[in-house]
Structures are given as C-alpha cells and as structure tokens.
Amino acid sequence: MRYLAIRDRVYPTDLNPNGTAFGGFIMSQMDKAASIMVEEVIVGKAVTVFVDKLHFNYPLHNGDIYSVYAEVVKLGHTSITMHITFESKCGLSKVCYNICDANFVFVAINDKGKPISIKALLRPDAHQWLEGLEHETADT
C-alpha cells in the first residue's frame, strides 16, 4: 500500500540555475520520504544503504505541488526496500507528472551502527504496510 510521506510546494530556494528544481533536492525528498516510511514500519534507527536507478522524467517547476509516496516492496532480515515515487501537480494547469521513482534500501542499525534484525523492531500495526510481501525475517 502506498503511503503519502511528504506533500509540499517547490520554492525558489529549491531551484537550479536553469530555473527548475535541483536534482539533489528531489533526491533528498525521496530519501526523507523513505526514512519516514521506515518509521511507520519499525521502531529504531535505520540508514540508507542503496538507491537504484533514478531517471528524471520531467522537470519540476517553482510553485508546483509535489507528493512523495513510499511503498514497502521487500522486507529482508535487516533491510527494508521501498519504492519511492515523486509526483508533481502543475500549479497552473493542475496536470500531474511522475517526476521520478526509484527503490531505496534502508538497513536497521544498533547503537554501534551495525545491522540488526528488524523482526523485533516491527511496530504492532506494521502489517498494514506489509500485506502480500514475502517476509525474510526468520529467526536467523
């Protein structure tokens, strides 16, 4: 199930010298959305370990409203893989665009920064985000 992690507007400080949104801004919002999704699933610390291909399909403009959705697609032993989608709505035309999407992998870590099993960290209501997933969180 998709989770709306962020909805906001593009401001002038988010723009590159060409006048469209800076790619790093879009990527940071996607990473932030993934980190928010992780907190819906587990209680504890987690870090980004991997991001797969990012393709920017359309430019994002000043004033556009954007939404960043997260969906858990895989639960590993210590990792959670999420599909993150960055969509925008043009302020004037209200036309929606799929700006980009990518898979983000986060790893649960302990206080020493080492990977730990996420099984014991799952929130009681995490199942709503995990329906239909193959769990790899056996007691190993």
Q: Which residues bind ligand COA (CB under 6 A)?
A: 47-50, 76-79, 105, 107, 109, 113, 115
Q: Of the two residues 113 and 132, which places its CB atom closer to ligand COA in the complex?
A: 113
CB of 43 to ligand COA, least distance (A): 17
Q: Of the two residues 10 and 80, which places its CB atom closer to ligand COA in the complex?
A: 80
DSSP states along 36-67? HHHHHHBSSEEEEEEE------S--BTT-EEE
Q: Of the two residues 48 and 62, which places its CB atom closer to ligand COA in the complex?
A: 48
Give SS3 for 73: strand
CB of 45 to ligand COA, least distance (A): 9
Handedness of CA 123, 28, 133, 120 (dihedral sign): negative
- Measured between its terminal Cα atoms, the distance across the chain in Å is 27
> Is residue 111 left, alpha or beta, with left meaning phi > 0 and alpha meaning psi from -120 to 50?
alpha
Q: Of the two residues 8 and 52, which places its CB atom closer to ligand COA in the complex?
A: 52
CB of 61 to ligand COA, least distance (A): 29
